[in-house]
Amino acid sequence: MENRAVRRRRSAFAAFLATLVMALGFTAVPADAAPQEQVDYVALGDSYTAGTGAGEPLRPPNVDCWQSQPGYVDLVGASGRIKLAANGACHGAVLSRLSPTYDPVIYTPTVQEQIRSLVARRDLSRRTELVSMTAGANDLGFARVLGVCAFSDEATCSAAVTAATSPKALGFLTASLIQTYGTIQVIAPNARIAVLGYPLLFAPSSPFAPIPPANQAAMNQATLAVNGTIAQAVRKVDALPLTDIKFVDVTSEFAGHAVNTAEPWLQLDPNNFAADYNFHPNKEGHRAYASALLEAVKPAQLVR
């Protein structure tokens, strides 16, 4: 039997999450009592979850939320063990409009707005059993930093990486991630949240050098920094009661398959560095993401 201290901690955390959700403008969705044989699955986040790299190289004009198929979400939904209710992820999405890299001109629904839309459509609710997401790199301006490192010397690249991964930037990202994970958990209290990280983009020792080797190493260190920040935020939320959240590290999955290897699992068109799908998973990469997710969450354990 639980002691009073544990019950008080759970009650306090539930009250905190309820207050957070109300403050963000979300409303509760009535429970659906009917259990399902397949896992009820919802996805949200940025381009990696939106499927970028699995389809056309360029974002179509006048499209707010660009998705490409078949990304890892579609592959997981077609696995036979999971029912994909909705994928709200958008290419270029940041966590919220408070992100320092949010662009109000090139409007892309933020993760917070994706959540609100999924709730309004009742795709994200108490019946949801699995949520997957990738988010965080855009909030640190990784696309801009990558552009700097592609066409600048080592010192300029290093300065850009240092600025993007400063303690202040990573601290803000940590707080934003914790808020996002908490919001999802209170809206979908029966769901396991799987937060996937990002692969290392480069193999600096490879003879094929799309950007200088030192800059490749700097970008890989930046990726490790954002992955570490995401993992830390997940640990902090997972330490709270009434949460079920897991960080899925994909760096080992992509080992030996960076953009400049013999068998890349990431897109790179050397003749068109402006292609939107560059440095995103190709079909093999999305299959690797799907495999990593299924192995981490074990769908048979989630069906209620």
For 100-124, the pLDDT digits (tens) are 999 988 889 999 999 999 999 999 9
Q: Find the domain containing 65 and state its range.
A: 39-301
Answer whether residue 16 is part of any domain: no
274 φ, ψ (degrees, to nearest 5): -90, -5
Answer whether residue 11 is part of any domain: no
Total domains, the chain: 1
Answer whether residue 167 is part of any domain: yes
We report the CATH number of the domain holding residue 224 as 3.40.50.1110
Q: Is the predicted pLDDT of residue 14 greater than 50, yes or no?
A: no
- Alpha carbon 82 to chain centroid, angstroms: 19
Answer whether residue 15 is part of any domain: no
What pLDDT was estimated at residue 5? 40
Answer whether residue 19 is part of any domain: no
Answer whether residue 49 is part of any domain: yes
What pLDDT was estimated at residue 61? 84
Q: How confident is the model at residue 1 (pLDDT cuts 50, 70, 90)?
A: very low
- Cβ neighbours of 149 (radius 10 Å): 25
pTM of the model: 0.86
Torsion, CA 124, CA 17, CA 239, CA 199, rounded to 10 = 40
Answer whether residue 20 is part of any domain: no
Q: Is the predicted pLDDT of residue 60 greater than 80, yes or no?
A: yes
Q: Is the predicted pLDDT of residue 71 greater than 70, yes or no?
A: yes
Answer whether residue 176 is part of any domain: yes
Q: How confident is the model at residue 16 (pLDDT cuts 50, 70, 90)?
A: very low
Cβ-based burial of 221 (10 A; exposed 0-12, middle 13-18, buried ≥19): middle
